Structure 1
Amino acid sequence: MRIFGGGLTVGSVYKLALRQLSGRWRLLITLLLTALPVIMGITWRLIEGDRFPDNDFQDLALNGMLAGVIIPLVTLAISSAAFSNEIEDRTLANLTLSPIPRWKIVVPKLLGALTVSGAFLVTSAFITSYIAFSGDLDAVLAVTAGAAISVALYSSLFVWTGLMTTRAIGYGLLYIFLWEGLFAGLVSGVRFLSLRHYSLTVMHRLDDRLFSTSEFLSTGVVTGAAVTVFVIFLALSIRRLRRMDVP
């Protein structure tokens, strides 16, 4: 791995992360996945005309496809790879032996993952909601904000997972489909520990005309929980990088 001239800095690690996570095939697959809800929104508008989306569209396209599958899968594929190249190539020492604090390595890596995945996912959420809700700004803002929060939370989780194990994709898939998809959907008490539920709560609370429901947590509770989860996994990633054995 080549370190940028002038020494390792936060900026150089961030640029390195962007370059590593922007492979042609990874971006192509991401583009195809994030295009699916947009296509569904266009299809809905062509079929239904000016009628606002009903609960079936919200459950299928927004809650199910976008929040339940596409966002976690894309962030898993990108964020878990933030350190994988260095770990697999045994070049992580080039980063960890540099005389800079570990947080100055983890934070730009996380920001790189957020930049790459967020550029596609947040844009997809914005376009889908803009088309489906005929440009209703409150609905568009609610869906886009929920997607952005979901990307941030999943990214912090999966960057840490990628540092913990070389099987991050496998464990991540189990988490997405078993915990988020099955248990959190069937057991109401588990939803407090569901990242997907946090993002959906933000969406529902930001636009109480279209999305409001009593099943979701309060705004204050979910905001505090989301910030706490993000900070915890960021701190765990920094701690892991400090303590892991680097070949």
Structure 2
Amino acid sequence: MNPTVARLTLRGLLGRRRSILLLVVPALLLLVSAIASGSSGDKHDLTVKILGQLGLGTLLPILGLVVGTGAIATEIDDGSIVYLLAKPLPRWKIITTKLVVAVGTTWVFSAIPILLAGLLLYGTQDGLALGYTVAALVAGAAYSALFLLLGVVTRHAVVAGLVYALIWESLIGNFVKGAKTLSVQQWGLSVAEAVAGKGAITADVALGVAVPLLLVLTVAATVLASVRLAGLTLAAEE
């Protein structure tokens, strides 16, 4: 963890345009939850749909995309990454520092709003709010690592990330049974089910499968991003 890299990364993430988007996304979730809390329908099912499909399935991957790619893609695109690479810092330390900042930022703008939305919709009953909050924490870390990797390997990270987030996670990951095993959202739901207890939340992926996959994705994405960044240094030197 390098304090200078962390400070610069955080400053870039909280720039005017990006910070507006980071505030709008959770605000939308809270607004929908506030409106829905006044409905007279089944509050349990409503909470599961809003927190599961809207919160974990759509808003969380979008936030992870904005933060994960924003942590490094902008520096690569404008060429300012050269100044960072010129410093005597191991490339893995640059990546892990940026990942820590990205994960922390994603947690602040996703897990806290999801917790508040859950409490607003259903209170502390059945552990729903807590379950989805923990799911947002673990899935948010995986998304941050995945999108940070995309920011390093391609100049079209935002487009590629949007395709993944909106088509795979929001659409295919929700409705195509065989694809659910490879969905970060479904892995998060498995953790949510374990925290809240069976019956409160239903997951399609077993916890014994979801947790290792979350760990593998996060670690593998971090390692690959570090290797790729080292390759960028070599290319610059040549």
TM-score by length of 1: 0.87
Indicate if the aligned counterparts of 2:126 and 2:196 stay in contact, CA closer than 8 A. no
Structure 2 distance, partners of 1:212, 1:65, is 15
Q: How far 1:207 moved relative to its partner?
A: 1.3
Contact 1:139 1:210 in 2 (8 A): no
- The equivalent position to 1:27 in structure 2, one of 9, 19, 32, is 19
Q: Judge conservation of contact 2:29–2:117 (CA < 8 Å) in 1.
A: yes
Q: Of residues 225, 242, 246 in structure 1, which corresponds to 2:236?
A: 246
In the aligned structure 2, how far is the partner of 1:85 from the partner of 1:177?
22
Letter in 2 for 1:204: E
Q: Secondary structure at the match of 2:197?
A: coil
Correspondence for 2:48: 58
Give the distance between the partners of 2:67 and 2:192, measured in 1 at CA: 24
Contact kept? 1:184, 1:190, Cα under 8 Å: yes
Deviates more, 1:151-160 or 1:88-97: 88-97
**TM-score, normalised with respect to structure 2:** 0.90
Q: Tell me the equivalent position of 1:216.
A: 204
Counterparts in 2 of 1:126 and 1:246: CA distance versus 1, 3 Å = farther
TM-fit CA distance, 1:52: 6.3
Point out the structure with the larger helix share.
Answer: 2
**Contact 2:75 2:81 (8 Å CA) reproduced:** yes
Separation in structure 2 between the aligned mates of residue 149 and residue 87 of structure 1, nearest angstrom:
27
* Counterpart for residue 219 of structure 2: 231
Aligned length in residues: 235
Match of 1:202 in 2: 191
1:14-63, Cα deviation, whole Å (9 max, x unpaired): 11110111012211222121012222222233334xx862324422x112
The answer on 1:86 being equivalent to 2:78 is no
1:170 lines up with 2:159 in the alignment: yes
AA of the residue aligned to 2:115: F
- Give 1:75 shift: 1.4
Counterpart amino acid of 1:246?
A: A
* Cα root mean square deviation, aligned: 2.0
Is the 1:22–1:116 Cα contact (8 Å) retained in structure 2?
A: no
Q: Percent identity?
A: 26
> Could you list the runs of 5+ residues in structure 2 that have no partner in the other structure?
none
Q: Take 1:137 and 1:13, find their aligned partners in 2: how far apart are those partners? A: 41
